[in-house]
Structure 1
Amino acid sequence: MCILGDGHGGDPHGESPPEIYERITDAFYALDEDWQFTYVNKRAEDIIRRSAAEVLGESIWEAFPEARDSVVWEKYHEAMETQEPVDFELYYEPLDVWAEVNAYPSETSLSVYFHDISERIEREQQLRRYQRIIETVNDGVYAVDPEGRFTMVNDAYAELFGYDREELLGEHVSKIVSDEIAEAAQEIEAAQVAGEREAPSLEAEIETADGETVVAEATFALLSDENGAYERIGVVRDVTERKEYERRLKEQCERYRRFVEAVPVAIVTCDANGRIVFANEAAAEQSGMGGDLVGTSALELVHADDRDEVADRLHRVLERREAVPPTEIRLETGDGVTCHAITTGVPITNEDEPAGQFVLTDITERKRYEQQLNETVTELEASNERLDSFASMLAHELRNPLNVAEIYLQQIEDDSTAADRVSDALDRIEGMIDVLLMLAKGSDAVSKGQALALADIATDAWEMLDTRAASLDVETTRVVRADENQIRHLLENVFENALEHGGEGVTVRVGDLPSGFYVEDDGPGITADERDDVFEADYSTEEGLGLGLTFVARLADAYGWDCEATESEAGGARFEFTGVAFADEE
């Protein structure tokens, strides 16, 4: 390549510089000492996409301002300063061009020739990309020459068989595979050359450098050179785990087959037409048809009233390929007996054809049990109604003599104190009747009640009792929402328990808990092993049955409260009521 440094002069043959420049096959332009274009040949015009007329006399830095921030600025100034040629590769983004540039300086000019190397760069990048792919894939990749020697192996191939890459390059394939496998590969190669096979594969057990055995699957391709010789390319994959998985899968299929045959639940497979192609022993027994199920329409086993529904479920599984949820159907056995079953179905394939698998669980005995249970529930409901009626009649019968007592009470004039006591007792009995009726009807009979100051109710309940030398200490400001009569009777029974078992001079205290309140005394208390029993109706004390605390527990339960017996700080009995609805927190 002839480079004319200052862009002037001629040659001995009489050709002018422009004529010489145009004969240069590379793109060429010349710059003066002010970086202005003095010449641009046709090839350069094509690459820079500007005509000579557009750039001649213009500074390169003004014509192409992006070049100021590129290696061009640095290299051109280096050439002019050192008066030494420079060469470099450049990607010029505005033109989307890769170029190889050679710049030759003189004292007053810079001659630049360059050529477009975009295709070469693209091929190199593509090659590097393929190399990276080969090096990063998990599969082993190799190439062998016609003599069967390795010309290329990637790291994955070398590592698969326990070698370094350098140990394999140039070695014969027999270093890796047996003669038998090598012969099989050569036969495959010959078939490929003859056009008999396009993408053949070979599976074999291969011993690694460490003496272990791997199952490898190789796929082959041929690459011919300019002399017509073929190089075999192989992609090798370790399928040891896959083969082990296939072995386990085969074993699992066998176990599943045996399970299906042995399970006491009916399992049938239907083809796309709804005919049974498989039925286990349980299905044959449940249908009463023995081994005659295969080939039978599944609908023939279904009760006539349920066939439309089952036909729709078959359509969803077999046609729409949907799994259907469990549902209850009736079946007709071979001897005309109706039985009940829960059935579900899922779409499957059978011999590469769409099919459905259905599981039928016989619930005939369960249905009989449910019927018996429903009859028992009905009897219990009738019994509860009789109990409720009895409680109402008892309350009615008690109220009659109470009404008579109240009439005669009004006629007592001599002893007003006695009259008050009798009147209070009658009021308590009247309130107790209301509470008993509520307990007989359950929590549904509990009214929303009203906002009640717990301290006032406790004081009222205490004053209704014969407290003698005992004392009450009320330490609560909470407001509960309850029926006044019911909550007062609850507290009366707790107080009576303290008065009965706490001894003379017992002190009873009512206080707050984070979610309720407590009632405690300083009496002898309740032993730990008896605290869960004191609320039972058959719990006995020295004085008789402890029905008062049974009443307390049931009334608390009707309100949704938790009631627990424990020990007070003084060692006495303590009853904690939690889960209480406070009106002052609403």
Structure 2
Amino acid sequence: MSESRRLLQVDSDDAVREQTATVVREATAFEYEGVSTAQAALSRLSSSTFDCVVTAAQLPERDGVALLDSIRAEHDDVAVVFCDDVSDPTVPASALNRGADGYVHRDEEDWPQELLERVHDAARTRRERRDHRRASSILDSLFEQVPEHIHLYVKDETGTHIRVTDTLFDADMLLGKPDYEVVGVPPGECETYQDDLEVIDTGERVVDREERSPLYEKWFSTWKVPWRDDGSVAGLIGFTEDITERKRYEQRLERLTERFELAVAVTGVGVVDWDLNSRDVNFHGAAAAILGLDDRATLSPSTLRDQVHPEDVNAIDRLVDPGDASEIDVEFRVPSVAGWRWVQLTGECRTDEAGVPERVIGIVADTTERKERQRARTRHRKRITALHDVAAALQHCDTRTAVCERTIEAADDVLAFDQCAIMLREGDRLPIEASSEGLDVDAIDPLAVDEGLAGQCFQQGSASTAPDIRENDIARYRDDCRSVLSVPVGEHGVFQAISAEVDHFDADDLELAELLLTHTATALTRLDRERELERQTERLQRQNDRLDRFASIVSHDLRNPLEVARGHLDLSEADDEHLDRVAAMHERMDELLEDLLTLAREGDRVTDTERIELESLAAQCWQSVETDGATLDVAGTLSFGADPSGVQQLLENLYRNSVEHAATADDPSVTIRVGPLEDGFFLEDDGPGIAPEIRDRIFEPGFSTDETGTGYGLSIVAEIAESHDWTISVGESDDGGVRFEITGVDVVGCE
């Protein structure tokens, strides 16, 4: 299938593009695409491949000549033909001088046909020029990369060298000369020259002609092929290879070819060729060394059986008699200086016509390292599984000591750390919480949190190994310790394992230790949370007990006298408005006591609320407080949901606080102002205010600046606010008095 050709037209005239597209699609095999601007054309050229660009001379924002310059700079293989109706005679000359491949005027009726001819010619010329450059580039690369033992050359139709490599022969000696001039003999007596003429005249190749050169006393192999130009032979291309070494060792290589066919692609292995009938054996490469045998000439199956590990004798039986299978793949162990070496032999057991094994040919490889890696991976997986089991066990430990002791057991059993310890922080020290039996804890003084390798590990929060502590300035030196592994136990402390061997701990030890101590830190954190939860539970229980006692005292010691006072009031027959107010106050006190007892016994969160109007409630509460000399100013109203009794007690306590603390003997008057906020309300006065240094204490139960005060008024205010999930804050009013702001209120409406 021929490669498709593509044409891109750049013209702002839609009609011209449409007419060109119709002609191109009907009369050519070009794929047509049209754009209206030079920028669009460059964008398409950057993302797609085109053989030719047809452009107008006049374009929006950028003329055709400028577009031509851009195409030549980035896409020189693309042909560019101008097609326009401009009358300026300098435009075609300018375009052609700048590298255009043609110019077509649209002032003639047959301009579309002329355009097609110019496009075909321009595209073909550019393609031929590109192919020529590519072929020339390939030839240049070929001549540059020819190895030293090959001589590459090109000769013209007369057999004269026109291009040669400077390998094997002197290029200056060959260039411009046929072979007979180089050798210095008549043309008819030069065989290589006659070969050249035959290739050029007949077009037949010379393939791998081997001949010995008396001039150089070497063997050469020559290849010659005709070089054609426009269908006719214009010369030849040939190469000559120095095969002297190949000829010298050819016979020997032929004998060894079969033996090394299986080993040519393998390094670090050996090849064995074993005749089972004659017992003759040939070892090649590292075969004898891998098998632990001397470079012997004969080998019997019984000798090899005696050589291998007793458990692997059956592998030798399968080697010399594989049964119906001819392929061999067995593994066995042979003695080595370090113990036993694993060997793998893969190959073929050949049989005679009767099916009796007669010859073993195979590759021998030392697989000890691979076996060790397999065993190491298996051990690693088992240790990780064991550590996950330890993690589950740690979650059932109920003390810090138990967690640490279980960790030490795992470090000993799973990680094989026979000397290790866990140090948990206590203040500024790191005393040992648990250690292995092989560690003399009494001889070790607790470290400071910033002392030694343990302190460094704790401060940095990263695990590390010290291959030799005698070369470490931070480590504390011990006679029985040379290498140390340190792992942080979260924020709780440090785990350390020591060894008397230098560089005892490897990367796997560090990785697994980090995994184990991560589980340990998780367990210790769990215990800390549980202990904190227990302490909080105990505190809450004590608080509840105190509340119960308080409720009992209030219920008995305060309510009983109140009931007595109410009884005497009921017996009074006087009709006095003061007695009526006393009766109302008794009812109010009873309500307050009932609410206080409910709050103490049933919880501190308000669940039942009613809609409250701030203005009316503020005025109502004002009537319940001794306010001689004080003035109330309600600045707007607010509708919100809350417990009416609680809010009433809150406002009354704040009123009393202002009246009692803002009024003075000299000036008993005080103005108290109540008003709405965006999400709550405020209460402020124009008294002396509260000093900043004690503002954070005024809500504490029992705190008061007045020796006669109980210190519970504002604490009750804070509890009521908290029971509604409100926030209460204290500050200074514009008049210098105190200002309380209650926010977080469930506002319904505000005026």
Q: TM-score, normalised by structure 2?
A: 0.36
Higher RCO (C-alpha under 8 Å, 6+ residues apart)? 1
TM-score, normalised on structure 1? 0.45
